[in-house]
Structure 1
Amino acid sequence: MRDAGEKNVTASAGRNELPARARRKRAGNGAARPDDADEVGLDALVGHAGYAVRRFQIWIFQDFVRTLAAVDIRPTQYSVMTVIGANPGLSQMAVAKRLGIERARLVHLLDSLERRKLVKRIKSKTDRRSHALHLTAQGELSLTKFKQLAAEHERHVEEKIGKANRERLLQILAGFT
C-alpha cells in the first residue's frame, strides 16, 4: 500500500508526459491550476503546527489500519480495549472521559466489540445506570495480538521519522495525553 503522500504514477503516467503548463487546468476565474497535488502551494500552512500534525495523524491512522487490517481493529477500538484491559471494571463514562470519546459514540463502539465477543458490560452493583467494562477471555487473547501489531506499527513510525524524533515527539505530546 502506498503512503498518503505517494503519487499514483500508473494512473497519471500518460498525462505526466505533457509539459507542466499543458497539464494545468483552468480554474473558474481563468487562472491556471495544477493537476498534481504536489504542485499546489501551501502558503502559510507550511508553518502551521496544526496542519503538520493533522497530516502526520492521517499517515499514522492509515498505517495503523493497514498494519492491523488482518485483525480488523481500528485505532479507537484498540484504545478502548487497551484502557479496559489495563483497568478492568472501569465505567463507560470513565473510558469516554479518559479517551475523549463522545458517550454515544462509545456506546456504538462497545456494541461492536461486544458482538465480536471482545468486551463485556456488567451491570454495576452500586449504580443501576452504570456498567463495568471487562475484556472477555477472547478479548484478552486478542488484545495481546493487537498489541504486537501495534508495536509493529510503532516501528513503522520510527522508520518514518527516526528513533530520536519519535521519542521527542512522545515527550512533546505527553502533555496532551
Structure 2
Amino acid sequence: MPPPSELTVHQGYWLRMVSNAVSQDFARKLAAEDVTVAEWVLMRSLYGEAPTTPSSLADRMGLTRGAITKLADRLMAKGLVGRKSHESDGRAHYLFLTEEGMTRVPKLADIADENDAAFFDVLDANDLATLDRLLRLLVERHSLRDVPVD
C-alpha cells in the first residue's frame, strides 16, 4: 500500500492556511471594535437596504432564521440594529441598521479593506486578478452560495 499523501500536496491545505490567516486577523481587528465577523456580515447586508425580514437575510446569508435572530439580538444590545413590527402582521418584523449602525458600517468596511490590502498587497496586479478570477470560478463551478461568516 502506498504511503498517504502529504498535507502540503493538497490545494485545500494552502487555501485553508491563507483563509485562516486572513480571517483570523480580520476577526481580531473587528473584536477591537466589539463586533464579530458574523455581526459585520449581517450589518453589511442591511446597509443601504430597506428594513428586511430575518428570513430574507437568512436566505441571502445562508444561515438559519434562528442564527439571524441571535445575531440581531446581539447587535440590538449594542445599539447597532433595530427591529420593528410589520404594520399589518404583528408577528412579523423587520431588521434595520440604527443610526449608530449606519455610521459604523463604513468604518468596519475600511478595516476589511485594510485587512485585505495588508495581506494581498504582496501580489502584483496580474497575480491578484488571476487569484480573484480563479476563486470566483471555483465558487461558480461548485455553486457556492453561503456567505462566509466565520
Which range, TM-score by smaller chain? Answer: 0.7 to 0.9
**Residue number in structure 2 paired with 1:158:** 120
Q: Is 1:111 aligned with 2:73?
A: yes
**Residue number in structure 2 paired with 1:120:** 82
Change (3 A) 1:109 1:43: same
Change (3 A) 1:106 1:112: same
* Aligned residue identity for 1:163: L
Aligned mates of 2:73, 2:97 — CA distance in 1:
13
**Normalising to structure 1: TM-score of the pair?**
0.65
**Residue number in structure 2 paired with 1:168:** 133
**Cα displacement (A) at 1:160:** 5.2
* Aligned residue identity for 1:116: K
Q: Is 1:139 aligned with 2:101?
A: yes
Q: Is 1:66 aligned with 2:28?
A: yes
* Aligned residue identity for 2:133: R
* Aligned residue identity for 1:167: D
Q: What is the number of equivalent residue pairs in this alignment? A: 137
Q: How much is the aligned-residue C-alpha RMSD, in angstroms?
A: 2.6
Change (3 A) 1:54 1:129: farther
The structure with more radius of gyration:
1
Aligned mates of 1:105, 1:147 — CA distance in 2:
22
* 2:121 aligned counterpart, secondary structure: helix
Within 5 A, what are the aligned runs for 1:77-116? 77-116=39-78
* 2:63 aligned counterpart, secondary structure: coil
> Which aligned segments of 4 or more residues in structure 1 are displaced greater than 4 angstroms?
none
**Normalising to structure 2: TM-score of the pair?**
0.76
**Structure 1 segments unaligned to the other structure (5+ residues):** 1-41
**Residue number in structure 2 paired with 1:27:** none
**Higher RCO structure, 1 or 2 (CA under 8 Å, sep 6+):** 2
**Structure 2 segments unaligned to the other structure (5+ residues):** 146-150
* 1:68 aligned counterpart, secondary structure: helix
* Aligned residue identity for 1:90: T
